[in-house]
Each structure stands twice: as C-alpha cells, then as structure tokens.
Amino acid sequence: MGKTQNYIFLFLSAFLLSTTLSFSQSSKQKELEARRVELRREIQKINALVSSNKSKEKSQVTLIEELNYKVSVRRNLIKVTNQQANLLTREINNNQKEISSFREELKVLKENYAKMIEQSYKNKNKHSRIMFLLSSNDFKQAYKRIQYLNQYTEYQKEQGEIIKEKTKDLQKANALLLEQKKEKNKLIAENKLVQKELEIEMKQHETIMNAIKKDLSKYAAQVKDKQREADKIDREIDKIIREEIAKSNKSATVKSTSKAVEFTLTAEAKALAKDFLGNKGKLPWPVEKGIVKVRYGKQPSPIDRSVTINSNGVRISTEKNAKVRAVFAGEVFRIIAPKRSNPAVLIKHGNYITVYKNLGKLSVKVGDKVSTKQEIGEVFTNPNTGETTLSFSVYKDTNTQDPASWIFEM
C-alpha cells in the first residue's frame, strides 16, 4: 500500500500546483481582457465622435490629432491582445504537460489499484479469511487482524473514489484546453483585423503628413500661435489663483506676502480639500462622453516634432452640445473670458482648484456652490470645424496636477 499512497500523494500535489498556477494565470487573463475591452470602447468612442463631425471640413492638425489617438489606441489593443494570446499559449503548454503527467500518474494508480483488487479477490473466500484469523497467536492479534481487514476494505473503496474523481478532473482539464485553444484562435483572428485597420490609418496619416510637409512652416506657426494663446490663459489663471491665495491669507489675518503660494484654509475648507484628495482617481469625467486628445505635460507637436506643446491640463474631445459637469463639490470663485478664447470656470475645493476652459454657455455664476456632477455649462463647438473640445485642469494651490491621476480611468 505504501507505493500506491506515494502515487496518490504525487497526483494530489501536481493537481494542487496546477490549480494554483491556473488561478494565477486566469486572474492575469481577466486583467488583460478588461484592458482589451476598455481599448475597444475607446476606439468606438472616437469613431462615434469622428462620425458626428463628418459634415465639417476639419483642419489637417485636427485630423492628425485624431489619427494619432486612434493609432495609439490600436497599437495598445494589438499589444494587449498579443499578451493575451501569449499567456494562453503558456497556459495551453502548461496544461498539456499537466494532463500528460496526470494521465501517467492515473495509469500507475489504476494499475496498482487493479493489483490490489486482484489480491483481495484471491483472499476473499471465507476459508482464507477464517484461516487468517485462526492463525493468530492470541485474541489481541486476532482483533487487530479483524481491524486490518476492515480498514483494507475501506481503503479499497477510497482508492476507487479517488480514481473516479481524478478521472473527472482530467476530463475537465481536457475540456478547458479545447476552450483555451478556441479563445487563442479567436484572439489571433481579431488581431489580424485590428492590424489591417491600423495599416489603413497609417496610410491616411502618411497622406495627410505629406500634404502638411509641403507647407510645414504654416502649420508649425499655427501650433505655436495656439500654444502662445494657451500660455497666456494659463498665466492669467495662475495670477487669479495667487490673488485668491492672498485674499485667503488676508481674511485669516495672516501676514500676506508676494511669496504666498498656499491657501490659508478654514476648518470647512480643510474638510473639503481632504474629501477631494480622498477621491483621487475616482472623480467623474467633466463631460459624460469624451476622449483625451492632448495629455498633461510637455510633448512634441503631432505636426512638427521639433515644436513642444506644454499642456497644463488635458484636452477632451466630446460631442456637440456636451454638458460640462463639476467633478467635485466646491464653489465657483472666478469666471474668465479671454479676448481670443471662450469663457473658463474656476471652482475651488479647499486648496484644490478645477478649471474648465472653452465653454460656449454658462449655467453658473461667481459665488455659486456646486455639487459633484452638477452642470456648469456647455462645451463650445467650433462652427467651422465642428470640433467640440473641453480643456480641463487641476491645481493644488499654484501647482498644476495631471488630471489623469484624479479622474476615473482617464
């Protein structure tokens, strides 16, 4: 029986190990699948936005921005799908090895079980059992032999049940293997389609860039002019925030200096700031539907890589008549209307400030208390290009923050 028990132990150890590996890998698969679904949703969103603005003649810069975004998302989709397929390949290979090991161990287990049953059958007749008992030296030994016979019979039943259960597990493993192979083939086929779409978009990108290169200086000048205008608005916002900081210091009877760069907060404002910080990464989007076309920080222009774009926030492309929402409870402390741009709303959340630029219509005024997701206005839509773009920024005192760190799944 010792040899058979060793095989059982090995079998169970291998089974538990494979179950642990399978759980770990399936968890990673779920993570990758969630990311793949998210990327496909992103592509659907930009396609919907592009489709809704088809009637308008877009600038070359806008077309390049849209294509850059789509190309970036498609490349990520291909990368994630490849990761899924590769992980499935590893899982399939591991499962095939485990199944082969299971089959061999099950074969040995069955062979030993058959020998045990055969031996048991030979000793099954009453005469053999009686002689086995009568040959005992004393009553104590006879009693132990009775216990042994009963335990041996019970052991036979247990081994039969183990073989039955492990056979079922092996059948399940085989079924899972078939499903994994189907899923892998599906991912490969899907990736081929995405690759074709990417190739089409890359050709479109090349065509537009060739047209741009014929008059690159003109487009580069447009980008620089747009950056200068953005910088001007950002300087005005910085000035407004510093004035508000000085105001908070003065009202708190704190000695105000030109170097003051932090708000002096009331107990209520401190609690609000703490709540705002506590919701970092979970804040709602400032528009219900949208895609980030320009991210936070310094980045090369999609038109001329030698020209740097410095973004103090994000630019979100959205649908026409999109409503702008406050991302958190706070107070509207300033509304600005730059000469060459559209209105911007500044909302204070303790010592945090959110800024919503390029609004066409306003639904709030200075001094209004707003709640999370409350409508504060509508995004301006360019009548010539049909573009509807919201610029959104987050500040802590005078320091800009990356909105992607604050907004849910941005």
CA distance 121 to 115: 10
Tell me what pLDDT residue 214 has.
85
Residues 376, 347: contact at Cβ < 8 Å? yes
* % of the chain at pLDDT higher than 90: 39
Residues 81-140 have pLDDT tens digits of: 999 999 888 888 887 777 777 677 667 767 766 776 666 655 555 446 555 556 767 777
CA distance 46 to 40: 10
Residues 311-334 have pLDDT tens digits of: 999 999 998 899 999 999 999 999
Tell me what pLDDT residue 7 has.
47
Task: Name the DSSP letter for residue 116.
Answer: H
The answer on pLDDT for 53 being more than 80 is no
Given pLDDT bands bounded at 50, 70 and 90, which one contains residue 308?
Answer: confident
Domains of the chain: 2-213 (no CATH), 225-405 (2.70.70.10)
Over range 202-206, report the average pLDDT. 90
Secondary structure class of 133 (helix, strand, coil):
helix
Tell me what pLDDT residue 46 has.
81
Given pLDDT bands bounded at 50, 70 and 90, which one contains residue 21?
Answer: very low
Its sign, for the CA torsion 223, 224, 227, 228, is negative
Residues 6+ apart with CB under 8 A from 49: 291, 317, 318, 319
Task: Name the DSSP letter for residue 52.
Answer: H
Tell me what pLDDT residue 394 has.
98
Given pLDDT bands bounded at 50, 70 and 90, which one contains residue 256?
Answer: very low
Tell me what pLDDT residue 258 has.
44
More confident residue, 173 or 153: 173
- Rg (alpha carbons) of the chain, rounded to whole number: 35
Residues 123, 32: contact at Cβ < 8 Å? no
Chain Cα centroid distance, residue 68: 21
The HSE-up count of residue 268 (CA atoms within 13 Å, CB side) is 4
* % of the chain at pLDDT higher than 70: 77
Given pLDDT bands bounded at 50, 70 and 90, which one contains residue 1?
Answer: very low
Predicted TM-score (pTM) of this structure: 0.68
